[in-house]
Structure 1
């Protein structure tokens, strides 16, 4: 092996893929779907025009009670973060729960944290249907700079549906404010939102009209 044992895992995987190439291809064909209007994939219901949260996945989480210890918090936050594109200002909503994950913080489900937990559950069950982008059309970028909570953005696009123009959501993005960010006023925070976060939207906005 070139460059020593460090590359052993990659060489082994390549060898296995080569030996079982025919079997792997047959396995992929089993997973193929044809002639369907929509299908379930990675916790989403996917169609040619939209992306919707699979409510069967959400139902499993809704059946669980309010977290009773610190170990249950990261699991719940990780699940909600997986669907962050569907939830407006998710970082604002989860800020009080994330504080429980910090060191030297006593575990306590306060009224604020319980409200955050219930709000996330509500947002997951009532999340909007995301539309898939058409890169030939212009985008609309909305920003929400809540000085005390965080930054939020929503990428929209107007598309023709049934002969009429309709504006839909492509994705939501949000993050909490850093300690240095809290020193800015409302105007500066909005500029911060424009300067920092659109990098996460480069896939959509680079070279596009918005």
Structure 2
């Protein structure tokens, strides 16, 4: 079947449905080229797998071995994890969903750290209490996320930043006509392996630099001065520092 045809997915779905018509919802589920074979016991499962492979072969359809998984008691299928105990979410799909709305969630990167660890290669699945707490915090954040205000170019600007042991965060806000400070956007990311070795001072400075770089299209050439709010008082003289840390001096100049 040629690529790009509008009706190609529907035509292919009808084709595979016709091949497994008597097996559908009995021991087979098919969505396009994703075939799920399920059975009550191992002996039946072997027969079902053999029958599916034979039918594919008879219709000149072939499965790539590296994309197949056999004799599994749990499997990822269409964004879910299926197992004898029930249906659970695929953590990668969940993170992909919440990542789309990260600009509404303060401290997003720091919150999801326990969950992103589960996606590492060869990492054993262990939905610990820390992971459960992260999930609940995300759920609460979604149901109570603040309304982000529209950007007003000539409004007073405030950038709030902070850094933890493994993440940096920022809040871009403007002062509205009613003198209320309202958020425009949130920013966060986890620290890279080299950045994890930075001392507290450099992590806090990195948070400021990354916030200014991320929102450069808002901040560069702004009509009003930008107020930077940080809980690390030792950063106040950083702009006037004559220390040999030229890398951060250069970064600060670029951000400013």
Normalised by the length of structure 2, the TM-score is: 0.52
Q: Matches of 1:196 and 1:158 in 2, distance apart? A: 22
Q: How many residues align?
A: 140
Gaps of 5+ in 2: 5-85, 227-256
Tell me the secondary structure at the aligned position of residue 131 of structure 1: coil
Q: 2:102 aligns with which of 76, 84, 88?
A: 84
Secondary structure of 2:215's match? helix
Which of residues 186, 193, 196 is equivalent to 1:172? 186
Moved more, 82-91 or 190-199: 190-199
Unaligned runs of 5+ in 1: 1-8, 10-66
What is the rounded CA distance, in whole Å, between the counterparts of 2:181 and 2:217 in structure 1? 20
Which of 1 and 2 has greater Rg? 2
Structure number with the bigger relative contact order (C-alpha 8 A, sep ≥ 6) is 1
Which structure 2 residues correspond to residues 27-176 of structure 1 after superposition, within 5 A? 72-146=90-164, 148-160=165-177, 164-176=178-190
Deviation at 1:169, TM superposition (A): 0.5
State the distance in 2 between where 1:83 and 1:92 align.
15
| Aligned residue number for residue 24 of structure 1 | none
Q: CA RMSD in A?
A: 1.8
2:247 matched residue in structure 1: none
Shift of 1:68: 6.3
More helix by share: 1
Displacement of 1:137 after TM fit?
1.6
Secondary structure of the residue that 2:186 maps to in structure 1?
A: strand
